Structure 1
Amino acid sequence: MDELTNEQKYTVAKFYKLYMERSNSGQTEEEANNFKDSITAQDDYFCDRKYSDFLENCKVLIDHGYLDGNIMSDRIDNIKVTNKAFTEIEQSFN
């Protein structure tokens, strides 16, 4: 994750935290890792961030393999945390 800015690291770490909270509350892995689209995710979880900045950070995270999603011109659909992100975040705990 050295290639990421602190803001991008924050974004993927928050998605990871949200996934863990959802999973621990009984959601299936698939449900816990479904963050819908960038508009919903920003409204629900990143409302303290400007949408255009959040969108660009998500695009970078997709380009680097930390998030998965379908990039459109003004949004990203089907946002999910990737195995690469899970692995690197969990390895950082050691």
Structure 2
Amino acid sequence: MSNEKYDDRGNLIYYKTSYGCEVWNEYNENISDEAKLVHEVDKFEMVIQALSYANDGIEKEKLEPFVNSAKSQINSKQLKEILDKLLQ
């Protein structure tokens, strides 16, 4: 397994350990329960950011695609419950 990867901008990223590379691959491929949860938390944070923008005056209609996209990708019962309360 190579210890080099590229980020979204094409910059080379080196991992100091094979474990770091392993964890990154696990996250990137979304293969473990932990990786899936981290992806869902990332989507959850996207909704929180959209709500923050709404509080700053951005029209809610413009933010709906972000919220709907995030909601569709969250499967955790606990995160869904919190999300529903935030969106009331």
| TM-score of the two chains, using structure 1 as the length reference | 0.35
| TM-score of the two chains, using structure 2 as the length reference | 0.37
Q: Between Structure 1 and Structure 2, which shows a larger proportion of helix residues?
A: 2
- Looking at both structures, which has the greater relative contact order when contacts are Cα pairs under 8 Å and sequence separation is at least 6? 1
**Which has the higher Rg, Structure 1 or Structure 2?**
2
Q: Between Structure 1 and Structure 2, which shows a larger proportion of strand residues?
A: 1
